[in-house]
Amino acid sequence: MKKTELLNSMLSSVVSEMGHTDMLCIGDAGLPVPKGVQRIDLAVSKGIPSFLEVLDAVLTELKVEKITIASEMKDHNAVMYREITKRFPGLVIHEVPHVQFKEKTQDCRAVVRTGECTGFSNVILQSGVTF
């Protein structure tokens, strides 16, 4: 059995297969998943698991060099914006309009659906390198 925090086999597999600049999206329950992009559906019920629980688990295994969020998050979900920025000190946060954010998910290796039901709780993580 794995020793790290990330136990979901599909999610762990995607993270292990990611190379430099590959992208993974973690989203709320309402984020659409483009056709052709792998969906990893972790949602059990409203709020379970939360966006931040999933993000924190993924960050135990994924080296992130860049994140992208919807620019609307600052105004419409300031609490989540603060929580995300706390997890990435010193990292530039790329902000795009929500419409462009959804388009950008087409380039992700997978979109992870959480049970989060607060608006704009979505992030695209771009993989870095550990050396």
pLDDT at 92: 84
pLDDT at 105: 98
Give residue 97's domain range: 9-127
In a domain, 29, yes or no: yes
Identify the CATH number of the domain in which residue 116 sits.
3.40.1650.10
Q: What percent of the chain has pLDDT over 90?
A: 95
Q: How far is CA 102 from CA 69, 87, 106, 111, 119, in A?
A: 10, 22, 8, 11, 13
pLDDT digits (tens, 9 = 90+) for 30-64: 999 999 999 999 999 999 999 999 999 999 999 99
Helix (H) or strand (E) holding 76: helix 73-76
How many domains are there within the chain? 1
- Residues annotated within the binding site for substrate are 28, 98, 120-122
94 annotated active-site: no
In a domain, 2, yes or no: no
Do 14 and 109 meet the contact criterion of CB atoms below 8 Å apart?
yes
In a domain, 1, yes or no: no
In a domain, 74, yes or no: yes
pLDDT at 4: 84
Residue 81 pLDDT greater than 80, yes or no: yes
Residue 113 pLDDT greater than 90, yes or no: yes
Pick the catalytic residue: 20, 39, 79, 97? 20
- Residues annotated within the binding site are 28, 98, 120-122
In a domain, 3, yes or no: no
In a domain, 95, yes or no: yes
